A and B are shown apart, each in its own frame.
Chain A
Amino acid sequence: MGHEPIRSLELRGITKRFPGILACDHIDLSVGEHSVRALVGENGAGKTTLMNILMGLYQPDEGRILINGRDVRFRSPNDAFDHGIGMVHQHFMLVQNMTVAENVALGMKSSHRSFRLDIAAVRKRILEVSERHELPVNPDALVWQLSVGEQQRVELVKTLCLGARFLILDEPTSALTPQETDELISLLQKMSSELSIVFISHKLHEVKALSDTVSILRRGKIVFEGRTENHSPADLAALMTGHEVELPRVDSGSAARGGAPGLLSIRELRVKGDRGNLALDGVSLEIAPGEIVGLAGVSGNGQRELAEALNGLRPVESGSIRLDGAELAGGSAGDVIREGMGYIPEDRNTEGIVPSFSVKENLVLKDIGGKEWSAGGFLRLGAIADNAKALRERFDIRCPSTDTAAGSLSGGNIQKVILARELARGPKALVAVYPTRGLDMGAEEFIHKQLLARRSEGVAILLISEELEEIMNLSDRIAVIYKGAILKVVPGKDATKRSLGLLMAGVADE
């Protein structure tokens, strides 16, 4: 280390251009000692780029970085580490097939002896740090065997082991379950008495809970700076998106549904998981036309297997899936699509689109062999282009053109492409898996509105999500899945975060 502790850190006029994009536009930002600064903005606003510049990963095109009033220049992350700056990246920077200790050793240059890696010293340091900050980790565990929450903890420990006194956290909660998120927030609250923290997020209740001051970035510019306590989440949301944001809510009214056979009817479904275990063990669920059923649960309790089985992507051991009377169990994905099922998959980049195909091609992918888009073995390019033009407008897909590769769009716009394709087909039922994961509020609002609009058109919707708020806002009924079975189904209007949280933990009786 050998550098004095950071009492103040200032970015002045930082500008960074990528081909075709001005990611950071003359940004000024200063952070003091022992404080938590939230950096808020929509996807693509330039938050991560700015922090990568601070870490020495990117070089700014213009601007200066000052520590304690003096100019510094970071050519590599090593320079940032030397000043005690560390970053927990949004995508975990952990090598999966190495142990926790090896991952820490990678950055801990003091353990690099000439012909030997001093792994014992690394292990000792990890245990020191994990004890001091109450972050239990096992140094000898292989990273790929750890849960996402544990990996997040390893990232924190790693960064602290490397001597960070100034911590940058890039959307640290985006992959965590609600419980893990609460734990992390309270942990960070404790740590903020010793460290300076820059907290990047677009989840405003977390920003409220944790930060002292907040800066809002929009399209590469700081548009607002102030004390967090003086502003409501709604204010911040409006500043972030540039317009008032109000997440819509379902109006279930008094219609008491349930019991009657649904439009989408799942009976005693048994499905095997990847390891040959029974991932779904007798799941039954009825979804009526014009109803949204939210499936709540900690991920890994069978949600993925259910979604895949419903869409013909995973073989069904026993049980039935009926859509409007037609049996889907045992059918191929093609059969399911022809029966009128819509699907918003969990991983939008690998399952939802073909990233190298253009937007317009992705928009017709499910019906490409049909008369509408092809004739006599040739694609009807005109019809495909017209379709893309119409959907782009209707779903507000922001892309340079419909010939752009879909994979190059932002997460929110990729999700809109998928949504447009699925909804334009006029599905009878829709399975939406984590539809807003990782998206900013503007995109989230749009997608929620679309789901509610389909609901009022009579589509049966299964919404699988980990975000309790999302589930509670949108669902007529909420089913809680636990260890491959539906633990309980409750009316949406009766659900509370606490009661759902207990159910998700497997506690059925209150």
Chain B
Amino acid sequence: MNAGSFVLNILILGVPFSVALLLAALGETINQRAGIFNLGCEGIMAMGAFVAFLPPFFLAGTPLAGSANLIGLALAIGVGALLGVLFALVVVTFRAPQGIAGIGLQMLGWGAAGTLFRHYVGGVTGVPGIQPVPVPGLSRIPILGKVLFNHNPLVYIAFLLVPVFWYLLFKTPWGLKVRAVGTYPRAADSLGIRVSRVRYQALALGGAMAGLAGAYLSLAQAKMFADDLIAGRGFIAVALVYFGRWNPVGVMGGALLFSLAQALQLSIQVAGINFPYEFAVMLPYVLVIVVLALVRKAKMVGPTELGKPFDREQRI
């Protein structure tokens, strides 16, 4: 294999790899901008992956089989949003510590998905999943067409959501409120903005995105469900939000960087290059840590009240 096709392969693999991370991290960006970090992202992804897998599995051979994937995606988004609201109930209304509550949600989602899967489905079974749809015209561009325009529709949607989320955060009234309640909830409160309501909305959206990210894994990437399908991607997504300085564009950069490193290590193994595979597997994680450590800490960017519950009547 020559060097050119080696690199091309990495790019073609890396782009779809980044989608689950990107979707989850976009949602987590909204959460954190609103002042809540949701470590339960991983658990919501597991539930999303599981519920999305059910319709294609059970509807196979029925008249509804054609829309099974869509039903699965809708289910994942809905369940994700519900879990986001559940998390909001715990950390916004009851003001539980977010770190602990997040770990709880992670274990709940992961455990519930695995248990329900074993009970109702049993062994590992594949589903047809979501098939690639080349973009007419664009997919025939040399190199670029293969890297960018020859994927399943969720890949395109995920990348189109980046500017959408950027606009939502920085150009809409809702985005303004989200940023305010995450940085200085007391100020937002003094202007008649209902801090709790905005945080509930943000967590519902973040949960929906995590659910969708999970669905992407089971329907588009792996085309199956297994206990450890998520494999820490939810936690990586949380880290990517810091990495991307709470900006959707930066988050996309982080997701791509991580996924390309992932694709690189796979390619190294596949190509049979003489390199200890243990180190290759470590590569993406080490890379993220190194970049996080090296990136200059920009002042006054992110949500400064991240992780702190808000109580209007608490005396300052």
Interface residues of A (CB under 8 A from B): 18, 55-58, 76-78, 81, 87, 89, 91-98, 102-103, 105-107, 111-113, 115-117, 142, 144, 162
| Interface SS of A by simple majority | loop
Residues on A with beta carbons closer than 8 Å to the beta carbon of B184: 93-96
Within 8 A of A (CB), among B157-180: 171-173, 175-177, 179-180
In the docked arrangement, what's the CA distance between A443 and B316, Å? 19
In the docked arrangement, what's the CA distance between A57 and B187, Å? 11
Residues on A with beta carbons closer than 8 Å to the beta carbon of B304: 96-97
Chain A nearest CB: distance from B175 CB in Å? 8
B300-A107 in contact (CB<8A)? no
Partner of A18, one of B189, B191, B312, B313: B313
In the docked arrangement, what's the CA distance between A144 and B183, Å? 12
Render B181-200 as a binary contact track against A, CB cut-off 8 A, 1 for contact.
00110111111111000000
- What are 12 sample pairs from A and B whose C-beta atoms fall under 8 A apart? A18-B315, A58-B313, A77-B189, A77-B192, A92-B187, A93-B184, A94-B184, A97-B183, A112-B173, A115-B172, A117-B172, A117-B175
A77-B190 in contact (CB<8A)? yes
B301 at the interface (CB under 8 A from A): yes
Partner of A87, one of B172, B190, B301: B190
Please count how many residues in chain B sit with their CB below 8 Å of the partner chain's CB atoms: 28
A95-B187 in contact (CB<8A)? yes
In the docked arrangement, what's the CA distance between A423 and B77, Å? 63
B180-A98 in contact (CB<8A)? yes
Within 8 A of A (CB), among B276-316: 299-302, 304, 312-313, 315-316
A97-B189 contact in complex given A91-B316, A102-B176, C-beta closer than 8 Å: no
What 6 new A-B contacts, CB under 8 Å, besides A93-B187, A94-B184? Answer: A57-B190, A76-B194, A96-B304, A102-B176, A106-B191, A113-B173
B173-A81 in contact (CB<8A)? no
Residue in B closest to A81 when the chains form the complex, CB atoms:
B192
A89-B190 contact in complex given A95-B184, A98-B180, C-beta closer than 8 Å: yes
B190-A142 in contact (CB<8A)? no
Chain A nearest CB: distance from B188 CB in Å? 6
A117-B190 in contact (CB<8A)? no
A117-B189 contact in complex given A94-B184, A95-B183, C-beta closer than 8 Å: no
Chain B nearest CB: distance from A129 CB in Å? 16
A93-B313 contact in complex given A106-B176, A106-B177, C-beta closer than 8 Å: no
Chain B nearest CB: distance from A171 CB in Å? 13
Residues on A with beta carbons closer than 8 Å to the beta carbon of B175: 117
A97-B176 in contact (CB<8A)? no
In the docked arrangement, what's the CA distance between A27 and B173, Å? 38
In the docked arrangement, what's the CA distance between A76 and B315, Å? 18
Chain B nearest CB: distance from A87 CB in Å? 7
Residues on A with beta carbons closer than 8 Å to the beta carbon of B176: 98, 102, 105-106, 117
Residues on B with beta carbons closer than 8 Å to the beta carbon of A116: 171-173
B183-A77 in contact (CB<8A)? no
Chain A nearest CB: distance from B200 CB in Å? 17
Residues on B with beta carbons closer than 8 Å to the beta carbon of A107: 191-192
A111-B173 contact in complex given A18-B315, A97-B300, C-beta closer than 8 Å: yes
Interface centre among B186, B191, B312, B313 (most CB of A within 10 A): B191
Residue in A closest to B246 when the chains form the complex, CB atoms:
A97
Chain B nearest CB: distance from A245 CB in Å? 26
A97-B191 in contact (CB<8A)? no
Residues on B with beta carbons closer than 8 Å to the beta carbon of A105: 173, 176
Residues on A with beta carbons closer than 8 Å to the beta carbon of B173: 105, 111-113, 116-117
Chain A nearest CB: distance from B186 CB in Å? 7
B301-A97 in contact (CB<8A)? yes
A95-B179 contact in complex given A18-B315, A115-B172, A116-B171, C-beta closer than 8 Å: yes
B191-A93 in contact (CB<8A)? yes
B179-A98 in contact (CB<8A)? yes
In the docked arrangement, what's the CA distance between A292 and B136, Å? 82
Partner of A106, one of B180, B194, B300, B315: B180
A55-B183 contact in complex given A105-B176, A112-B173, A116-B172, C-beta closer than 8 Å: no
Residue in A closest to B305 when the chains form the complex, CB atoms:
A95
A93-B171 in contact (CB<8A)? no
B300-A144 in contact (CB<8A)? yes
In the docked arrangement, what's the CA distance between A81 and B192, Å? 9
In the docked arrangement, what's the CA distance between A354 and B151, Å? 56
Residue in A closest to B182 when the chains form the complex, CB atoms:
A95
Render B62-82 as a binary contact track against A, CB cut-off 8 A, 1 for contact.
000000000000000000000
In the docked arrangement, what's the CA distance between A425 and B301, Å? 43
B190-A93 in contact (CB<8A)? yes
Residues on B with beta carbons closer than 8 Å to the beta carbon of A96: 183-184, 300, 304
B300-A78 in contact (CB<8A)? no
Residues on A with beta carbons closer than 8 Å to the beta carbon of B302: 97
A57-B312 in contact (CB<8A)? yes
In the docked arrangement, what's the CA distance between A236 and B189, Å? 34
Chain A nearest CB: distance from B306 CB in Å? 12
In the docked arrangement, what's the CA distance between A81 and B190, Å? 10
In the docked arrangement, what's the CA distance between A373 and B177, Å? 51
Residues on B with beta carbons closer than 8 Å to the beta carbon of A98: 176, 179-180, 183
Partner of B171, one of A57, A117, A162: A117
The 7 closest A-B pairs by CB, nearest first: A78-B192, A107-B191, A112-B173, A93-B187, A77-B192, A93-B190, A97-B300
In the docked arrangement, what's the CA distance between A92 and B57, Å? 57
Residue in B closest to A105 when the chains form the complex, CB atoms:
B176
Residue in A closest to B181 when the chains form the complex, CB atoms:
A95
Residues on A with beta carbons closer than 8 Å to the beta carbon of B313: 18, 58
Residues on A with beta carbons closer than 8 Å to the beta carbon of B172: 115-117
In the docked arrangement, what's the CA distance between A93 and B189, Å? 9
Residues on A with beta carbons closer than 8 Å to the beta carbon of B301: 97
In the docked arrangement, what's the CA distance between A89 and B190, Å? 9
B187-A94 in contact (CB<8A)? yes
Interface centre among B190, B299, B315 (most CB of A within 10 A): B190
Residues on B with beta carbons closer than 8 Å to the beta carbon of A94: 184, 187
Chain B nearest CB: distance from A219 CB in Å? 16
In the docked arrangement, what's the CA distance between A75 and B316, Å? 21
